[in-house]
Structure 1
Amino acid sequence: MTSFNVKSEDSEKTIVCDDMSPSEWDAEEILRTHSYPESHQLVIHRGVKVTLPPQILAAYTIHSKLASGTFGSVFYGEEKSTRRPVAIKIVEASMTKTISYNGIKIPKEAALLQKIPSHPNIIALIEWAEAYEKHWILVFEYHGFGRDRLKFTLRHYLRNVAKSRGKRGLTENKVKKIMRQLLSACHHLEKHGIYHCDLKLDNIVVDTEGNLKLIDFGLAVEGEKGRGRIGSIFPPEMYDHYIPYELSTAQIWVLGTVFYQLFEAAKPYHEERVKSKALGRVMFSRHNRPSNECVELIDWMLKTEPTHRPQSVSRVIEHCWFMCA
């Protein structure tokens, strides 16, 4: 594993890139949509004009920006031939994990998504291309509320539903529907040795029926061990920087945090308490306290010691709370 420093506006960031064996990848499939084209149209990403490849311009119309973050911007677009809505992600090459095959760099996010069999709760990658050497362009299926209502993440869904019912969290039945889908997606990834590593409300998109898809695999990894902080929700063991931790049980903590947020619209513990490992049982507001079985499951997922949590996503799915109607 190697690391290097890159400048991002006024701050310096260290980006870690994984050295991966080319034999693990189907080269023909991965390189299927790869090219180094001349280009024509400009799109603004974080104040920078990005020149798009001609095959992207020929196939898609870009309408408006959906989101913008440290590593990339996402635009709402349509496939010209079918009018199918798509999400077009533009990420800076210098801040993107890549793998190499025969001297060609491939964005790791694209490689992982092409390796994973399709799943109804994981966003589908349609194609990808390079905008010369400075940016990657990734085209995904669009899943959300449509062009006129672009606020489509689980955070927005939680806020809108809670506002309509006059309480800050969702009902237990709605939470169960969401968690079943999220756990199904994570179980599918886990079966193929992949961990998302940035699970949070903002990386889950929802449609008007409450059907969700997991997005943004920019920090996803293969393997069972992690070191240091990954993502934005940290279990206690992530603060032990020099001790490798099990990604499976770290993921259970993160899923437990998201689980809790669906009821309370807030994290279960303040960061300082997590860091010091001074945790107790999770607390719920009186107006929105779920059933005892549900509280028991969340408390199990948020145990301080990783060995005391469910050891896999499948163990969570098998809990009696999910067996109830």
Structure 2
Amino acid sequence: MTSLDVKPEDSEKTIICDAAMTLGEWETGEILRNHSYPESNQIVIHRDVKVTLPLQISATYTIYSKLASGTFGSVFYGEEKSTRRPVAIKIVEASMAKTVSYNGIKIPKEAALLQKIPLHPNIIAFIDWAEAYPKHWIFVFEYHGFGQDKPKSTLNHYLRDVARSRGKQGLTENEAKKIMHQLLSACSHLEKHGIYHCDLKLDNIVVDAEGNIKLIDFGLAIEGKRSRGRTGSIFPPEMYDYYIPYELSTAQIWVLGSVFYQLFEATKPYHEERVKSKALGRVMYSKHNRPSNECVELIDWMLKAEPNHRPPSVRRVMHELFRRT
């Protein structure tokens, strides 16, 4: 189900599409065939703003509690009423989200990209989206985590739980390899379809009780091969030159190397000034959780300062992950 408000200032009517809509249908004006319905009276709070949910969202899902809240959005735990299937409902201010235009109508770029990605076991499944009053986007995803009673299910929180339970930071090598294999598989799938996440970090990876992960939050995703400037929160050296375009594929390898290191040490491999100056050198590990030499060499390769000195592709990293370790 795909939906869109008629106008941000008209909170009484919402256009509803009863079936999944392709981007091609947007371009040919298929949305004009749909009907209008009033907003519901269900309200949720995002950053002290009362957001009125569209009728098709409140009629389909029950919202129970807030999972997380950040600069760009709030995420709530909910269930589909007819099936009791758990879902995650994200609310984002329209002014904070990028949009694309189809047939003169603006839709959130995140929804447009997610509708183009075939399902993958390590990428969160996108279900629905809508525009809510006042000027907010609503996204509905499958829920992946520990459940409503344990809302903090990001990889960042998972590492903290591990540290508390074991008395030391970081995962074992086998645990880290399992997570990295899943993350690399997700990134390879996206790259195959011309999309880069561009905000890979521990807080954008959710994990369940079995240690299986899914990649979330595509608000900064890019469709293409090159970019410039900084995006996300982990920056390889080439992102610090705002005027020179860089290859997203090799920049992503560096970011993945940083995430891999954090699975062992729960901190970034380098301070920002070292990254900016490209004076990187070999990363350091604590004695209690140092991975094998083969694993250390792979991370060092991924974290090379020069893009052309890194592994040439995500698929190559996946191959080396199990060949070397």
Who is 2:82 aligned against? 81
Structure-1 residue corresponding to 2:5: none
Is the aligned partner of 1:38 residue 2:29?
Answer: no
Q: Which runs of 5+ in 2 are unaligned?
A: 1-21
In structure 1, C-alpha distance between the alignment counterparts of 2:35 and 2:168, rounded to whole Å: 50
Pairing 1:125–2:123 present: no
Shift of 1:128: 0.8
- TM-score, normalised relative to structure 2: 0.89
Q: Which position in structure 1 is the counterpart of 2:254?
A: 253
Query: Which of these residues, 17, 22, 25, is aligned with residue 23 of structure 2?
Result: 25
**What fraction of aligned residue pairs are identical, expressed as a percent?**
79
- Report the counterpart of residue 155 of structure 1 in structure 2: 156
Following superposition, the deviation at residue 68 of structure 1 comes to 1.0
Distance 2:138 2:35 in 1: 11
Shift of 1:28: 5.7
Secondary structure of 2:59 counterpart: helix
Please report how far the alpha carbon of residue 164 of structure 1 lies from its aligned counterpart in structure 2 after TM superposition: 1.7
**Per-residue deviation, 1:163:** 2.1
1:42-101 alpha-carbon deviations (Å, 9 max, x no partner): 111101111110011100111111111111111111111111110000111111111111
- Give the structure 2 partner of residue 100 of structure 1: 101
Tell me: CA distance 1:52–1:36, structure 2 relative to 1, closer, same or farther (3 Å). Answer: farther
CA contact (8 A) 1:37 1:130 kept: no
Count matched residues: 300
Q: Does 1:309 align with 2:310?
A: yes
Contact in 2 for aligned 1:158/1:262 (Cα 8 Å): yes
Deviations 1:93-149 (A, max 9, x none): 111111111111111111111101100000001111111460111100000000100
Measure, in 2, the Cα distance between the counterparts of 1:161 and 1:182. 19
Going from structure 1 to structure 2, the CA distance change for 1:305 and 1:147 (only over 3 Å counts) comes to same
> Separation in 1 of the partners of 2:319 and 2:36?
47
Q: 1:229 and 2:227 equivalent? A: no
The residue type paired with residue 223 of structure 2 is E
Query: Which residue identity lines up with residue 170 of structure 2 in the other structure?
Result: G
Partner deviation per Cα, 1:148-187 (whole Å, 9 max, x = no partner): 0001000011111232222101000000100000000000
CA contact (8 A) 2:26 2:103 kept: no
Counterpart of 2:170? 169
8 Å contact from structure 1 (residues 35, 129) kept in 2 = no
Structure 1 residue ranges, 4+ long, deviating more than 4 angstroms after superposition: 28-32, 34-37
- Aligned partner of 2:121: which letter? P
Tell me the equivalent position of 1:4: none
1:226 deviation in Å?
1.1
Contact kept in structure 1, 2:52 and 2:134, CA below 8 Å: no
Deviations along 1:179-234, whole A, 9 cap, x unmatched?
A: 00000000000011100000000000000000000000000011111111100000
Task: Give the Cα separation in 1 of the matches to 2:157 and 2:77.
Answer: 17
- SS class of match (1:26): helix
Query: Is it true that 1:181 corresponds to 2:179 in the alignment?
Result: no
Deviation sequence 1:213-261 (CA, Å, 0-9, x none): 0000000011111111100000011001111011101101100000000
Residue matched to 1:72: 73
**For the structure 1 residues 104 and 74, does the alpha-carbon distance in structure 2 shift closer, same or farther, using more than 3 Å as the test?**
same
Between the aligned partners of 1:35 and 1:260, the Cα distance in structure 2 is: 51
* C-alpha contact 2:51 2:133 (8 A) present in aligned 1: no
Name the structure 2 match of 1:286: 287
- Residue ranges of structure 1 left out of the alignment (5+ in a row): 1-23
- Over the residues paired in the alignment, what is the CA RMSD in angstroms? 1.9
